[in-house]
Structure 1
Amino acid sequence: MSSTATRSDRGVSPVFLALVAIMGVSGWAVWTGFSASTGFAVFLFVVSGWIVSLCLHEYAHARTALHGGDITVGAKGYLTLNPLKYTHALLSIVLPVLFVIMGGIGLPGGAVFIERGRVAGRWKHSLISAAGPLTNVVFAVVLMLPFLLPGLGAGMPLPFLAAIAFLALLQVTAAILNLLPVPGLDGYGIVEPWLSYNVRRQVEPVAPFGLLIVFGCLWIPEVNAAFFGLVDAVMGLFGVEPYLPAFGLDWFRFWDGEPQVAG
């Protein structure tokens, strides 16, 4: 009985498998031009891919917490990759997707609930917080391999290259933002175990507003320019030209019409 429950707690959710299937089919449609609207296919590919990455992000937190001592994450459904099991599905999934649609930026979502009292050792706490953003880093590197290795990207249609470039940009922005040491974000979770009790108590009231503070700062032109300059520099290291994610965003916003690409 217990072994069956354990398999149920850790089996991959049909919801996640459906998201992967949507990502695969829509990616194929972008590649082949099968869809009547390339933009709509790009939209489905990017949104499903973005949600898949969010699921992997939260799974990484939960899996690391499990090995760190919090054995309750399985019963909560966090190891099934089901986004509907998250403590704050609105923060973890809906808001990040809305941010992508509104601004073309990958803002991090809410985290799974980890019972930190079950985890002993500051390094373990830091690793639990770091696991999520590191997943975004790995996802971004995989997406940018076709640009780093020209032979791998040769022959890929422009819409598909633009779509994976835009999805990679979302991963890079999410990783950078989430690694900021701002209360409420994973970057702060990494350093928090090493702070004094008094500092943690003083900072604690800010945590619920950390994501809003970051989002607000990005509306400041100078901050926005510096941030995306850093994003472009990181992606440039992998050979991603800035126009590619821009084209990807244009196709993604299919409701504005198909982008005009010079032949």
Structure 2
Amino acid sequence: MPFVIISLLVAFTVHEFAHAYTAYKFGDDTAKDQGRLTLNPVHHLDPIGTIFILIAGFGWARPVPVNRRNFRNPKLAGVLVSLAGPLSNFLIAFIATGLLFFTIGSAPVFFVQLLNMMVWLNVLLFVFNLLPFPPLDGYRIIEDLAPPHIRVKMTQYEQYGVLIFLILVFTPLDRFTIQPIFSVAIPAVIGGFQSIFSLFL
């Protein structure tokens, strides 16, 4: 459990900071003005999501506020801001895999266990957040890329998308929808990391 909590705190904090920093760089000060342009976990944790982390081993962070009207290039900025979060988790997992490869055999057991958890959870968050359901980043990317008339319709039906997403994740249907995606995508990403670092050994 401690490894899960530490890994989630790091993953959530870097994920939300990446959103805030990218938005700031494209001209939106909203997150910065609300104190979210920081790597201090306290500023990114959601109270209920944090309780769930402590008692159930999973949870969620507080979404970073973004005002797309402040972007200098709204479509490009919107996509990159949404993509920044999942990519930050991808990068954490990649670095943790590298540390595992280059310290294997010499690192303490607890450190190896922590790194393994960091890899798995961050790849999970990378894949999960790219799913095309609201309110996930994958949905926001599609929304920003869609033509205006499609975007309007997406906004109208977004509430139903959230409901469908919750049904797919929190009911037995996940065995036929979400879990098969994870069972293929997560091992594929981790395997790709391992193949890259194995070239150096």
TM-score range, shorter chain: 0.7 to 0.9
TM-score normalised over the length of structure 1: 0.62
Match status 1:69 vs 2:27:
yes
- Tell me, in whole angstroms, the C-alpha distance in 2 between the residues paired with 1:221 and 1:139: 28
- Tell me, in whole angstroms, the C-alpha distance in 1 between the residues paired with 2:51 and 2:168: 14
Offset of 1:96 from its aligned partner?
Answer: 6.9
Match status 1:166 vs 2:117:
yes
Q: Is the 8 A contact 2:167 2:173 kept in 1?
A: no
- Tell me, in whole angstroms, the C-alpha distance in 2 between the residues paired with 1:45 and 1:81: 19
Q: 1:212 aligns with which of 166, 180, 193?
A: 166
The amino acid across from 1:237 in the alignment is: G
Distance 1:131 1:213, change over 3 A: farther
Match status 1:138 vs 2:94:
no
* 1:232 match: 187
Map residues 109-258 of structure 1 onto 2, 5 A cutoff.
Answer: 109-121=61-73, 122-147=75-100, 149=101, 151-204=102-155, 205-206=158-159, 208-209=162-163, 212-213=166-167, 215-216=169-170, 220-223=174-177, 224-239=179-194
Give me the identity figure in percent: 28
1:8-38 Cα shifts (integer Å, max 9, x gaps)? xxxxxxxxxxxxxxxxxxxxxxxxxxxxxxx
The amino acid across from 2:170 in the alignment is: G
Q: Is the 8 A contact 1:116 1:125 kept in 2?
A: yes
Distance 1:110 1:200, change over 3 A: farther
User: Which of the pair has more CA radius of gyration?
Assistant: 1
- Tell me, in whole angstroms, the C-alpha distance in 1 between the residues paired with 2:189 and 2:19: 24
- Tell me, in whole angstroms, the C-alpha distance in 1 between the residues paired with 2:95 and 2:52: 21
1:24-80 Cα shifts (integer Å, max 9, x gaps)? xxxxxxxxxxxxxxxxxxx32431232122111111111111111112322200113
- Tell me, in whole angstroms, the C-alpha distance in 2 between the residues paired with 1:155 and 1:218: 42
Name whichever of 226-235 and 216-225 sits farther off.
Answer: 216-225
Offset of 1:171 from its aligned partner?
Answer: 0.3
Offset of 1:99 from its aligned partner?
Answer: 9.2
- Tell me, in whole angstroms, the C-alpha distance in 2 between the residues paired with 1:214 and 1:110: 22
TM-score normalised over the length of structure 2: 0.78
SS at match of 1:74: helix
Distance 1:97 1:56, change over 3 A: same
What RMSD in Å do the two structures reach over aligned CA positions? 3.0
Offset of 1:220 from its aligned partner?
Answer: 2.9
* 1:29 match: none
The amino acid across from 1:51 in the alignment is: L
1:104-161 Cα shifts (integer Å, max 9, x gaps)? xxx76452111111113211111111111111001101111144x3x43222244432
Aligned length: 190
Structure 2: runs of 5+ lacking an equivalent: 196-201
* 1:60 match: 18
Distance 1:160 1:69, change over 3 A: same
- Tell me, in whole angstroms, the C-alpha distance in 1 between the residues paired with 2:42 and 2:164: 23
Q: 1:97 aligns with which of 53, 58, 70?
A: 53
Structure 1: runs of 5+ lacking an equivalent: 1-42, 241-263
